[in-house]
Chains A and B, each alone.
Chain A
Amino acid sequence: MKSLLWRLAGHLTRGLAMIWAVTTFTFFLIRLMPGDPVQVQYERLIALGMSPEQAESGTAMTYGFVPHGPVWQQYLDYIVGLAHLDLGVSVDSQGIPVADRVFGAMPWTVLLVLSGILVSFLIGVGLGVVAALKRGNVVGHSLSIAGSLLHGVPPFVIGILLTALFTRQWRWFPSGGIYDADLVAPGFYADFMADVAYHTILPASAFALASYGGWLLAMRSSVASVLGDDFLLAAELRGLTRWMRFRYLARNAILPLFTVLAISFGLVFGGAIFIERIFNYPGLGMLLFASIGARDFSMMSGSFLLITAAVIIANILADLLYSVIDPRVRRQT
């Protein structure tokens, strides 16, 4: 128990160090941006007739630091602001805090990505077992080639193909958005949820298709490595049924995949940019993309920070999860 706590402490410090490094990176990124957007904002406020003090505090609202004075002071202000979850104010849509927009977009990305991951995980793991058991023959080989192909193809290819087919060729699904504002108003009732589901099916399946190949390959190699283990032979010699042996095999083979699953929960915040763009889905990736188009640097760094922080947190959770579900790892440390 004590060692687990030590592990947790180590992971947390490492994660915090990483988040700190990323925030430092985004700070200098904004400062070094061509045309110095912070200075531009300050000058625009002056031109609007503000006094230098007002302009300074206005800029500080936007970016979290005052554009003048020593750099370390600016940096300190920025970090202190972030520690209070103050991501600044959007440049493009005036007055709206970045944190509001970012945390408002997050649930939609989570909905899209979570359903996509779960579906692809189930399909990929199932087919991966088949690919490993049949690996000598045509079925196994074509399954793994198809898996590698889908794993290798960039997600936007699948996204474009699905939109072209199912929203234009056959108009089975709506071409974008998350709900039809003319038909339903947001709220917790059946019609609204059904409409959201109807809008989410296509992007989520695009996401699932783009990522199930990875699960298939991982499960295949995991099953293949467990297949040679002695305990399976022992189980066969003891006369255990096929089904029982399969359960032994599956339980051991799926272990390493849970870590990958936990890590992928973090990665997907950023990985859905293409899908969100193609399906016009207002999630985090879309927010990042839109803020870049509008040169909204405070929004850009805010959404980038959240995307990165999610990955780091997911990594820590994955490590901890692994030591909980696999006792062998626990004993090593």
Chain B
Amino acid sequence: MIAKFARQKPGRENSNAAIAGQLARSSSPRRRFWRGVWVALKRRPSRIAGVAIVALFIFMAIAGAWFYPDRLPYDVNEVYAPISWEHPLSTDNQGVDVLALVVTGTRGVLLVAAAAGLVTMLVGTAAGLYAGYRRGAADSVLMRIADFVLTIPGFPLLIVLTTAINVGTWWKMALVLGLIGWGGLARAVRSQTLSLRERGFIEAARGLGLPTRHIVVKELLPNVAPYIATNLLIAVTAYIYAQVGLYFLGVLPVDTSNWGVMLNNAVFLSGALISPDALPYLLAPLGAILLLTLGVVLIVDALEEIFNPRLRES
């Protein structure tokens, strides 16, 4: 089913521009694409679980803060309270509900990671497409820069940069993260573009005298999109962990509560490692990270099959 869709694609682009435009506008290939997604998801129930997990985290990021007051209530008599309906994940060293901390800590981190992902996607895709399609001097310059960004170890650079630049506001943090991480995506998009530009349908489009803008946006981009999607999902996860890591090390000034601050508090400040009562406080953010990773891994597994049907094993 998906294989048929993939085979059909070059044929579509071989026809002249008017028909190609019409076909692209009609919903049929798109509906077929979503049916393909559904088939791939159904093949392994674990993939549906993955989508559900990631959806849960996105929901927590958007709506989580609405369930709780701006300043979470604390109760010094309820430090490391036993697990109960009132405190399903116990309380922290000041008597704040741990579940509330985990839920409200999602938004800031996910917001920055999503914005950084957007930066990475724009810069990486643009650089990769341009370098791969134009070739020549621009290609070698762009790829030298990409290599440079890729080679410098990301996390040490991030630590050094965050001390040099005041990354207090969320968009600055997103910009720094996004600009550190675009190299891999640019490389993937470039190599894909390089092999696509030699294919028949691109040559046909060039032969028809279609403008470069059309070739890049309408012919190349849809074929590169799978690589962007997979790379982006992994990049956004990496950005989430980079931020949590920075807060965990205590390099960033603490402004809001998030998983990294919780971990820093639990491991280095409150001595939660020693007291068994405090175990839920320590394990809750770790569990959140593990769960999110699991969700992303399962979705990537599904994405690979959707976009690359040859990977499917009987």
**Interface residues, chain A, with chain B CB atoms under 8 Å away:** 18, 21-22, 26, 29, 32-34, 135-136, 145, 148-149, 152-154, 156-157, 160-161, 163-164, 167-169, 267, 269-271, 273-274, 277-278, 285, 288-289, 292-293, 295, 300-301, 304, 307-308, 311-312, 315
Contact in complex: A21, B153 (CB < 8 Å): no
Give 30 pairs: A residue, B residue, CB < 8 Å, sorted on A: A18-B148, A32-B164, A145-B301, A148-B297, A148-B300, A149-B290, A149-B293, A152-B234, A152-B296, A152-B297, A153-B289, A153-B293, A154-B241, A154-B245, A157-B286, A157-B289, A160-B286, A161-B286, A167-B273, A168-B273, A270-B153, A270-B154, A271-B155, A274-B245, A285-B156, A288-B160, A304-B156, A308-B152, A311-B151, A311-B153
Contact in complex: A136, B289 (CB < 8 Å): no
Contact in complex: B294, A136 (CB < 8 Å): no
Contact in complex: A160, B282 (CB < 8 Å): yes
Contact in complex: B153, A267 (CB < 8 Å): yes
CA distance A267 to B153 in the complex (A): 6
**CB of B274 within 8 A of chain A?**
yes
**CB of B248 within 8 A of chain A?**
yes
Contact in complex: B249, A289 (CB < 8 Å): yes
Contact in complex: B282, A136 (CB < 8 Å): no
Contact in complex: B289, A154 (CB < 8 Å): yes
Among A145, A161, A312, find the residue whose CB has the most chain B CB atoms closer than 10 A: A145
Chain B residues near A154 (CB, 8 Å)? 241, 244-245, 289
CB distance from A257 to the nearest CB of B (A): 19
CA distance A301 to B157 in the complex (A): 10
Smallest CB-CB separation from A295: which chain B residue?
Answer: B163
CA distance A304 to B155 in the complex (A): 11
* Complex interface residues of chain B between 115 and 137 (CB less than 8 A to chain A): none
Given A154-B244, A269-B153, 20 more A-B residue pairs with CB atoms under 8 Å apart are: A21-B148, A29-B161, A33-B163, A34-B166, A145-B298, A152-B293, A157-B289, A161-B286, A163-B267, A167-B273, A168-B274, A267-B153, A270-B155, A273-B159, A274-B245, A288-B156, A288-B159, A289-B249, A295-B163, A311-B151
CA distance A267 to B279 in the complex (A): 33
With contact pairs A18-B148, A154-B244 given, residues A307 and B156 touching in the complex (Cβ less than 8 Å): yes
Residue-wise interface mask of B (278-314) relative to A, using a CB-CB cutoff of 8 A (1 in contact, 0 not)? 0100100010011001101110110000000000011
Smallest CB-CB separation from A32: which chain B residue?
Answer: B164
Per a CB cutoff under 8 Å, which of B155, B237, B241 touches A273?
B155
Contact in complex: B293, A292 (CB < 8 Å): no
With contact pairs A145-B297, A148-B301, A273-B249 given, residues A315 and B151 touching in the complex (Cβ less than 8 Å): yes
CA distance A318 to B157 in the complex (A): 22
Contact in complex: A164, B273 (CB < 8 Å): yes
CA distance A168 to B155 in the complex (A): 28
Contact in complex: B151, A312 (CB < 8 Å): yes
CA distance A245 to B274 in the complex (A): 53
> For the complex, would chain B's binding face be called helix, strand, loop or mixed by DSSP majority?
helix
Chain B residues near A160 (CB, 8 Å)? 263, 267, 282, 286
Q: By the criterion of a CB under 8 Å from any partner CB, how many residues of chain B are at the interface?
A: 43
**CB of B210 within 8 A of chain A?**
no
Contact in complex: A33, B290 (CB < 8 Å): no
Contact in complex: B267, A292 (CB < 8 Å): no
Contact in complex: B282, A135 (CB < 8 Å): no
Contact in complex: B249, A274 (CB < 8 Å): yes
**CB of B251 within 8 A of chain A?**
yes
Per a CB cutoff under 8 Å, which of A161, A273, A315 touches B156?
A273
Chain B residues near A163 (CB, 8 Å)? 267, 273
Chain A residues near B160 (CB, 8 Å)? 26, 29, 288, 292, 300-301, 304
Chain B residues near A293 (CB, 8 Å)? 250
Per a CB cutoff under 8 Å, which of A136, A169, A292 touches B313?
A136
Chain A residues near B163 (CB, 8 Å)? 33, 292, 295, 300
Q: What 7 A-B pairs are tightest by C-beta distance, nearest first?
A: A270-B153, A154-B241, A270-B156, A152-B293, A148-B297, A168-B273, A153-B293
With contact pairs A156-B248, A278-B267 given, residues A22 and B152 touching in the complex (Cβ less than 8 Å): yes
Chain A residues near B267 (CB, 8 Å)? 160, 163, 278
CA distance A169 to B241 in the complex (A): 26
Chain B residues near A277 (CB, 8 Å)? 249
Smallest CB-CB separation from A267: which chain B residue?
Answer: B153
Chain B residues near A156 (CB, 8 Å)? 245, 248, 263
